[in-house]
Structure 1
Amino acid sequence: MERFLLLACLFFAPVAAQGPPRRTCSQTSFCQRYRDWIGLSVETRGSYHIPASPLCSSSTGTFNATVRPSALGEEGLDEFLLQLRFYEDGTFRFTMDENHAITGFIRTRYVIPSGDVIQDDNMPLAKDLEYTYNQEEKSSTFRIGKSLVVTLMHDDVILTVAVDGQVVQTINSKKRLVIEGTRYEYSNKCPFNLPDRYDAKYIDPACSPGTHDGSCAETYEGYTDAKPHGPSLVGVDVTFTEAYAAYGLQERGTTTSKLKIGGTSDLSLYRFFNLDYYAYPVDGDRAQGAIYGAIPTLTAVQEGPGSTTFTSSLLWVNPSDTLVSLTGCCGEDLITTFVSESGVIDFLLYPGMKPQEFSTAYHRTTGLPALPPLFGLGFHRSRYAVESQQDIYNLAYKYTDKGFPVDVFWLDIEHTNGKEYFTWNKKLFPNPKKMSDDIRAQGKEMVTIVDPHIKATNSYFIYSSGVEEDVFVKEEVFKPPHTTYKIFEANCWPGLSAWPDFTSPRVREWWGLWFKPDGLNDNFYTWNDMNEPSVFDVPEKTMYRNLVHIGLIEHRDVHNLFGPMWTGDSVSQWNNLQAVIPMITALAATGGFSFTGSDIGGFIGNPDAELYTRWFQLSAATNAFFRLHSDIHSPQRDPWFYDETTLNRVKNATLDRYRLLPYWYHAFALYVYCGKPIISPLWYAFLDDPNTYKCNSPGCDSVIDQQVLIGTDIMVRGVVEKGAKSVKVYFPPKTQWYSTTGKLMSSGYVDIQVTMDDIPRFFRAGSIIPRKDTYRSSSKLMYNDYFALYVYLDPSSFSAEGYA
């Protein structure tokens, strides 16, 4: 069997060291500079304008304009280029860059290549578009279809987006749009070869009165980051009209689903900067900081005309260090402000859509996921520890002996020869091929880890090949009068390591060659890890920003392209269990990322029987990715290491998961082919019910935050409080739900008694749930079993429907 990537978008990180302290805006020069800038009066700081003439259309649905700094008046050139793109599905894209005809001889800003994130080929541009220019008002109007109207005011570059006559989003209403233009010389204070005295005109945040420390170089935790292109930030504000709640900005540790609206202070900002964050916080002042991955989408719930409710969303397409502030909301305008260290201003708006319409449009923008094999939805057993071939045999026997199904055994970094990936420790694993064949004969699979840091020794075939093929990220070596580049080497799990440059298609092709069948590793699936990228013993435990990628691209420009998503190195504490549903539903509903889950029991620590049971029950019932995993310092926590009662409880939760695999797999198919999230919060499915996004009574948010829908027909309420005897559950009106005992539940808030044997699960009236009820030790062995259809009649229509 050819080796290929399983769960290709999940990047899991074993324990390294205590996570880095949260770097704040005050400690980050571009952010502090921008915050000072937007704190100035609108009359003081510079703004932009577009010449008073009709825009040019380069193709159907695409319009271009030149943008000039207003402070320069007639002295200004066409320093910036704006492109507006309108798509058939109502999506709208705003891109602003420097004019390469003016600055291209010095540098061009990094733009993510088409197809790497944005799937332009899948996004048909709007043909039903009417464009008009009003000379008197100096405005351009775009009418797309029957309901969408975008108006551009040329004098201030302000765009309003209206749906059915109601303005739902506005770009640059607070006039925070800015790009720090290219400096012709390293020490220039102002862009475009303007004399330094032009700082009195407030051209951009760095070209303004005063000393702006860190514009050309800054020091953090003892390391000085030299910036060869000087200050390069980009920023803009987008207002969501009359927003009642906001969701998204994943990934972040949190126990609440709603975004906190806090303004521009250090502890209120949301940050996107991928970090290997061990024991990340889920509440308190540090919980909004950066962790493993970045999916910078934001969705606001708004009330439309005629008491309708819809959402408007935004996707920020800039992979450099990014911070976001939120002000307003709760029935007022929500003002979002994005600032990134470098690159271009590039974002998409999804105005006035129902949540599922947004999901469809978002997946058209970014692509659809792959359908995993069925065993990917079964139970996975993993542990960061020194384990052997005999240990795997013993585990397989023990799980079967206990009547506990398992589909996949994972091997962490200790299975390798000295952390050299694609190799084996022959003392621990004398015959990996036989082991994988033996495990597969039992209907189970195996996964081995492959990290993207390569041990820097010439005797290691991956490293020597990488040197020969010139695939590694470089660092600059300045030896006057010349600049040279050498392979960047730093400490990670193997010791001194080098990192392939995955921004390059050529390097990705080279990397893929190592996954071809070799007679030894053919039957092993792959776990991709540590791809934030994680680098030990350096500031923030990641690459220096001024490292150089192929094409002389700085790492600061591309950092967040590495490492998509996972819920990370959680801690065996109740507040971390409380974070599971808010984190995975944010990823699924607003980030388009459903195939995720948390390490059962928390990665770090030693959960007691109650916490272990509740975490196992919640993961089995709600996590698309269902895995037991822990760090090397945690005691082994396979179920039989707990008492018999606990073993039986978590086994029953797992058996229920296996019985429902047909339902899970159908939900996954809808995700893969239609973009429908596998799991979703209540507001996503019941947007017409204000109780799902407005909290009108004490504690209601904490109830809603712990409820999740699996597909459309199963609702689960987590039990996430120690010693809980009952929990509140909210049942939206106009729907009816059956309990596991067949009781038809009333709408509204209901107190549900709970025991340690299970957590509350409910089935939608009018649904048919496909199951397979015969016990097998793995999903593969269930293939030929009969389906059982569980019918939950709608009491009004006496009908039900479902899929299998």
Structure 2
Amino acid sequence: MRSLTTVGTLLLLSLLPASFAVKTHDWKTCSQSAFCRRGRALSERARATSNWKSPYSIDPASIAISPEEASLSASVKSSLYPDIKFQLDLKVHEDGVVRVRMDEVDGLRKRYDEAASWALVAEPDVSKSIKWQVGKKDVRATYNGITVTVAFEPLRIALSRSGREEIVLNGQGMLHMEHFRTKTPAVEETPTPEGETPPEEQVQKVVEVNPRAWFEGDEDGWWEETFSSWTDSKPKGPESLSLDVNFPNHGHVYGIPQHATRLSLPTTTGENPTFTEPYRLYNADVFEYEASSTLSLYGSIPLMYAHSKHSTVGVFHAVGSETWIDVAHPTEKSSHSHWISESGIMDVFLLPGPTPSDVFAQYARLTGTPSLPPHWSLGYHQCRWNYVSSDDVRSVQKRFDEENLPVDVFWLDIEYSEEHKYFIWDKKNFPDPVEMMKDVEAIGRKMVVIIDPHLKRTSDYPVYKKASELEVLVKPPSGQGEYEGWCWSGSSSWVDFFNPKSWDWWKSLFKTTQQGDNWSWVESSDNVHIWNDMNEPSVFNGPEITMPKDNIHYGGWEHRDIHNINGMLFQNLTAQALVARSDPPKRPFVLTRSFFAGSQRISAMWTGDNLGTWEHMAVGVQMVLANGIAGMSFGGADVGGFFGNPEPEMLVRWYWVGALAPFFRAHAHIDTKRREPYLLDEQYKSIVRKVLRLRYSMLPVWYTAFRETSVTGVPVLRPQFVMFPQDDGGFPIDDQYYIGSSGLLVKPVVQQGVTETTVYISDREPYYDYFTDRIYRGEGKHVTVPAALDQVPLFIRGGSIISTKERPRRSSPLMKSDPYTLRVALNNNGAAQGELYIDDGETYDHRKGDIVWRSFQAERIKGGKGLRIASTDLAARHPDEAVDGVALAKYNKKNEFANSVSKVRVERIIVLGLPEKPKSVKLEGGAALVWEFIPGVSAQGQKYGGPSKLIVKDPDVSVVSDWAVLVE
């Protein structure tokens, strides 16, 4: 497919690693990163010294407590640096989260302290009910069964619950904040009178401007560091921060995405480590990343959870610089971690839990919940690098419709633009972009077009020209002019979105009508949404394929200070631009590759340039789970893999994986063969059609799950430890998951040639096969289930009611008026419940209460053997609840949206697990209904049987009304 690329793209491809295979030498190891070397050396010396203790201590006379603000401040001193001052601040928030900050005071320079301002959604409210106790050796804050103890010498901070230590900072004494210093001349010549020979010891003397602690070793990379052909000037000298964070009573730790590894993080130190390199957080454009590695990838969230039967706790460190994290499990019931960051202050939030839901909510109150996405974005997305012309887009759409394959979004990669000048159409191949968009929109579909952060440095590109005039481009180390690097556009510069002057200008670019003399994207529409790629940022001729760390951003900060935050700002401003372009505003969809804590407030992410291999399919599931528990619920891995040509079996399995992930997109590299699903042989194409229809039928489930996570922060995909936090058999499981609170359990098949697999079931409830209705029971065991190519292990947990739409349509907007089917899967007590949330799926009217939010319950009729299935209004029952973070106090059940769907009905109710055939089925207070009963099949000693099935045909009840069906 190289013939489809422009000459410019081919030239730039030559700058990339040969054959796109991952070249590990393009990225540093810890031993090649000076500050990581220093941090790990400190750890090694501490472990090797039996009487090691931290040199940091609190001056008791300096302690100041403000009970009204639940805060403590104190001076911290180091026995090794008596002239260096540090300040410790500790606050307890209303929800019990503890914030611990430490910074150098009156230093030669200022450390970067703004990471939290970008990550946090707001400054948290502090508690008013903390009991403080100051002793001779420590000070303690007590609240809600939790005690936070700050020991004076050595400095040690511990969060305990009911006398059990849950989180400990500096328990191993590895806290080390490298203070600022002046550069030391290497030597100074000692003058000697003419004709005399000085004593040997007077020939030279070292100028001791910067005395070093004995454990610091030599001036290792303090002032300059070379990697490959690049030199980092390090004008501020050493400023790294090391901190050990231990979980004495938790055997599993999760989080710190993004890495291609297990959900429960394997060890990197100690005896028999799984990995020898620490987990690295440093947003990087990694080609064909390995399927099992601690290598840094595209996003970084410095958030770690620890879990045991007793509790779930977490630590969020608001730091935007490169960070390395070692993980150890010294016992089965304890976990240690060592965090080493290149710059920034210590700004750590201790999340006390004690349940998974609690800790997710605590993190969400800090950094925000995932935004409620536009409904159509939960459909299927079709992409490749590249659809090469307007006619190509039309042809692809036509083939999807001819083959009855539903799709919601068509994507355009970089080749749509003239010489990779984003926003500017290549009119040779896209002569009629607006008409093309209208053709796509006519069937309710949308388009997503890529906008990368690098701007081609040429005077005929109005976007670059204006950015240069505004002086909002990243500067080189000198602080003068514009940094120049290479990316798809060739010679490029990058907008500095930390500069407030860039914000309104960037948003103006997306206006679809001319804005005075300012250039804007008039050849676009409100139905075009945006893909922000390459925003780590990726720089082809830069160190580690990114921007030099000594580049300068707004405020004089170096790129090293804000590297991991950089991509989030690009995504954030793009999303704001999409909101601002229309009146009334519509919800934006912005896909980002690079992300940081707080990115979940904006839109979706994906796992980057994966390979079309079984190993990458498997690790993609684990990565989506890891990103989800760290807030990034709206995520997925590219179906089929970005690189390679998967055989049909692999491609079909990958469609199953994608259809049961929050973000569902097929994407492929420019050199791959075309692999749109309509090109498959019929036996495979029919399966993919089944997969796509399953996804569309389950859109009510997905949208309802997103409403919940937009309020609670609990992820859309829930690993086993989240659903069953006291079942230690499920703690390491990361190859299956639940979808929201729906009760749906998924076990994707990610191995070749599989016809059956095993599923772990924690509880006693029956699990009904979604397709065959067979019942499986486990209670802490794995059960064997069929898994042929045309099916996926998907189960409804007993006690759940699932809402679906079963009529095939070409796109999701065409389904708005379609009726619902309710699947009622009874539990061991003969009961079930479920929810359905709907709104217009596009505007922000849901925030003013224009919604439908229903509860479905199935309960035994008192005094009898019958069943009552009812629908009630959840929004009316819970006015203090919220949608998308906004309370429903103004909710009116006859709101405008509810009226618009009042004729949408429930067309079928399926009840699984009734103990016997009913005598009658009728509406409560109404007429008898048409129904069919299929008796169950005994398991006869097998692991599964077939439950009874009651099918109630067309009860003719509205989805917005209260009603009840009586089964007697």
Length-normalised TM-score, structure 1 = 0.90
| Matched positions, count | 746
CA contact (8 A) 1:46 1:70 kept: no
Structure 2: distance between partners of 1:801 and 1:14: 54
Matched position secondary structure for 1:242: coil
CA contact (8 A) 1:223 1:539 kept: yes
CA contact (8 A) 1:20 1:541 kept: no
Alignment pair present for 1:541 and 2:550: no
**Percent of pairs identical after alignment?**
32
Equivalent positions of 1:410-449 (< 5 A) are 410-449=411-450
Identify if the C-alpha distance between structure 1 residues 336 and 299 changes in structure 2 by more than 3 Å, giving closer, same or farther: same
Alignment pair present for 1:497 and 2:492: yes
Identify if the C-alpha distance between structure 1 residues 195 and 125 changes in structure 2 by more than 3 Å, giving closer, same or farther: farther
Letter in 1 for 2:311: F
1:215 to partner: Cα distance? 1.1
**For residue 797 of structure 1, what is the aligned residue in structure 2?**
830
Structure 1: distance between partners of 2:209 and 2:559: 32
Structure 2: distance between partners of 1:14 and 1:352: 50
Structure 2: distance between partners of 1:34 and 1:113: 21
Structure 1: distance between partners of 2:86 and 2:401: 65
Aligned partner (choices 158, 171, 174) of residue 173 of structure 1: 171
- What per-residue deviation string (whole Å, max 9, x for no partner) do you get for residues 643-675 of structure 1? 111111111011000001011100011111221
CA contact (8 A) 1:245 1:330 kept: no
Structure 1: distance between partners of 2:276 and 2:496: 33
Equivalent positions of 1:78-477 (< 5 A) are 79-99=85-105, 102-103=106-107, 106-112=108-114, 115-121=117-123, 123-135=124-136, 137=137, 139-144=138-143, 146-185=144-183, 196=208, 199=211, 201-202=213-214, 208=216, 210-254=217-261, 256-263=262-269, 267-283=276-292, 287-303=293-309, 309-477=310-478
Identify if the C-alpha distance between structure 1 residues 78 and 143 changes in structure 2 by more than 3 Å, giving closer, same or farther: farther
**For residue 848 of structure 2, what is the aligned residue in structure 1?**
none
Equivalent positions of 1:615-626 (< 5 A) are 615-621=654-660, 623-626=661-664
1:54 to partner: Cα distance? 6.0
**For residue 849 of structure 2, what is the aligned residue in structure 1?**
none
Identify if the C-alpha distance between structure 1 residues 200 and 462 changes in structure 2 by more than 3 Å, giving closer, same or farther: closer
Matched position secondary structure for 2:480: strand
Letter in 2 for 1:119: V
Structure 2: distance between partners of 1:38 and 1:399: 58
1:786 to partner: Cα distance? 1.0
CA contact (8 A) 1:15 1:569 kept: no
1:195 to partner: Cα distance? 6.8
Alignment pair present for 1:679 and 2:717: yes
CA contact (8 A) 1:302 1:312 kept: no
Identify if the C-alpha distance between structure 1 residues 780 and 441 changes in structure 2 by more than 3 Å, giving closer, same or farther: same
CA contact (8 A) 1:316 1:347 kept: yes
1:469 to partner: Cα distance? 0.5
Matched position secondary structure for 2:247: strand
Aligned partner (choices 792, 800, 807) of residue 759 of structure 1: 792
Aligned partner (choices 731, 734, 744) of residue 705 of structure 1: 734
Higher mean alpha-carbon deviation, 110-119 vs 393-402, is at: 110-119
Structure 2: distance between partners of 1:67 and 1:744: 61
1:114 to partner: Cα distance? 5.1
Matched position secondary structure for 1:160: strand
Structure 1: distance between partners of 2:459 and 2:694: 50
Matched position secondary structure for 1:585: helix
**For residue 698 of structure 1, what is the aligned residue in structure 2?**
none
Equivalent positions of 1:9-88 (< 5 A) are 17=17, 18=20, 19-21=22-24, 22-41=27-46, 47-53=55-61, 55-57=63-65, 60-72=69-81, 76-77=82-83, 79-88=85-94
CA contact (8 A) 1:383 1:632 kept: yes
Structure 2: distance between partners of 1:618 and 1:332: 33
Matched position secondary structure for 1:173: coil
Identify if the C-alpha distance between structure 1 residues 113 and 300 changes in structure 2 by more than 3 Å, giving closer, same or farther: closer
CA contact (8 A) 1:411 1:449 kept: yes
Identify if the C-alpha distance between structure 1 residues 799 and 499 changes in structure 2 by more than 3 Å, giving closer, same or farther: closer
Which of 1 and 2 has higher RCO (CA within 8 Å, sep 6+)?
A: 1
**For residue 480 of structure 1, what is the aligned residue in structure 2?**
none
Structure 2: distance between partners of 1:225 and 1:626: 40
Structure 1: distance between partners of 2:412 and 2:209: 61
Equivalent positions of 1:376-775 (< 5 A) are 376-477=377-478, 485-518=480-513, 519-523=522-526, 524-561=528-565, 562=567, 563-564=594-595, 565-589=605-629, 591-621=630-660, 623-693=661-731, 704-712=733-741, 713-740=743-770, 741-747=772-778, 748-775=781-808
Structure 1: distance between partners of 2:475 and 2:159: 44
1:476 to partner: Cα distance? 2.6
CA contact (8 A) 1:56 1:65 kept: yes
CA contact (8 A) 1:681 1:708 kept: yes
CA contact (8 A) 1:186 1:229 kept: no
Structure 2: distance between partners of 1:15 and 1:667: 43
1:385 to partner: Cα distance? 1.9
**For residue 585 of structure 2, what is the aligned residue in structure 1?**
none
Identify if the C-alpha distance between structure 1 residues 151 and 14 changes in structure 2 by more than 3 Å, giving closer, same or farther: farther
1:522 to partner: Cα distance? 2.1
- What per-residue deviation string (whole Å, max 9, x for no partner) do you get for residues 702-751 of structure 1? xx321111112111111111101210111112333111211221112111
**For residue 818 of structure 2, what is the aligned residue in structure 1?**
785
Structure 2: distance between partners of 1:385 and 1:635: 11
**For residue 4 of structure 1, what is the aligned residue in structure 2?**
none
CA contact (8 A) 2:62 2:75 kept: no
1:212 to partner: Cα distance? 2.8
Structure 2: distance between partners of 1:330 and 1:722: 36
1:364 to partner: Cα distance? 0.4
Structure 1: distance between partners of 2:423 and 2:380: 25
CA contact (8 A) 2:54 2:170 kept: no
CA contact (8 A) 2:115 2:562 kept: no
Matched position secondary structure for 2:253: strand
CA contact (8 A) 1:383 1:629 kept: yes
1:93 to partner: Cα distance? 1.2
CA contact (8 A) 1:242 1:330 kept: no
Identify if the C-alpha distance between structure 1 residues 78 and 763 changes in structure 2 by more than 3 Å, giving closer, same or farther: same
- What per-residue deviation string (whole Å, max 9, x for no partner) do you get for residues 398-429 of structure 1? 10110000000000110011101111011111
Structure 2: distance between partners of 1:37 and 1:447: 48
Matched position secondary structure for 1:588: helix
CA contact (8 A) 2:184 2:209 kept: no
- What per-residue deviation string (whole Å, max 9, x for no partner) do you get for residues 5-46 of structure 1? xxxxxxxx9996434524111101111112222222465786
1:329 to partner: Cα distance? 4.7
Matched position secondary structure for 1:418: helix
**For residue 306 of structure 1, what is the aligned residue in structure 2?**
none
CA contact (8 A) 2:700 2:836 kept: no
- What per-residue deviation string (whole Å, max 9, x for no partner) do you get for residues 120-142 of structure 1? 33x2211111112113x2x1111
- What per-residue deviation string (whole Å, max 9, x for no partner) do you get for residues 80-126 of structure 1? 11111111212111111111xx22xx4211112554102333x2211
